[in-house]
């Protein structure tokens, strides 16, 4: 589903906080009143990408995450900036793309993802998240990410600060295969 907590796709805040805790090396769950994450299993690091499996309410969720290798913008304060690709087999979701900006996007802001100077993809933005408009757009973007080397995400905060985040796609294809295997998701091209 595309209408999760605070308008973010069902990737949700639970996974975001679980990943941030894992990336920071923390074992503690968030204490801000949001639901605590389920049991998380680290599946491996593949280049710049980390793969996980999460058991949530009896459902298996597999996701991969990365932080930018470079962030630009004249901002004074910015929260965590993270990219997710998530499978939720129980909900029939696969390859849900979600970017956490670390700030609130300007209403109506244009957010784009460009892969290897080849093609630019327009994303939807709401609050602090950006994602593809639908499952078909997710599939196209993930296929390009599998083949690519670098993704450049551009957006504008509600205060008007333009940002550019560069993600390495090194290891993306291997991490994607790993979450496919963990969630028994069908690989692209073998439909």
Most confident of 13-27, 31-45, 52-66: 52-66
- pLDDT single digits (tens) 36-54: 456 889 999 999 999 999 9
Task: Give the CA radius of gyration of the chain.
Answer: 15
Query: Is pLDDT of 189 > 90?
Result: no
Q: Select the more confidently predicted residue: 186 or 17.
A: 186
Confidence bin at 63 (pLDDT 50/70/90)? very high
Q: Report all structural domains of the chain as residue ranges with CATH numbers, in order of start.
A: 5-182 (2.60.40.1880)
pLDDT at 55: 87
pLDDT at 38: 61
pLDDT at 56: 81
Cα 54 from Cα 137, distance rounded (Å) = 24
């Amino acid at each position: 589903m595309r209408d999760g907590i605070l308008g973010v796709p069902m990737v949700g805040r639970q996974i975001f906080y679980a990943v941030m805790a894992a990336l920071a090396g923390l074992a503690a769950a968030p204490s801000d009143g949001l639901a605590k994450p389920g049991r998380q299993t680290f599946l491996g690091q593949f280049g710049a990408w980390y793969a996980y499996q999460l058991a949530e309410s009896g459902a298996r969720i597999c996701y991969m995450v990365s932080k930018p290798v470079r962030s630009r913008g004249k901002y004074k304060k910015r929260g965590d900036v993270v990219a997710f690709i998530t499978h939720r087999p129980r909900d029939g979701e696969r390859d849900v793309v979600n970017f956490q900006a670390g700030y609130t996007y300007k209403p109506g802001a244009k957010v784009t993802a460009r892969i290897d100077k080849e093609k630019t993809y327009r994303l939807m933005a709401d609050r602090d998240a950006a994602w593809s408009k639908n499952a078909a757009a997710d599939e196209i973007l993930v296929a390009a990410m599998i083949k690519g080397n670098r993704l450049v995400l551009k957006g504008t905060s509600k205060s008007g600060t333009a940002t550019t985040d560069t993600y390495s796609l090194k290891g993306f294809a291997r991490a994607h295969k790993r979450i496919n295997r963990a969630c028994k998701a069908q690989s692209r091209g073998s439909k």
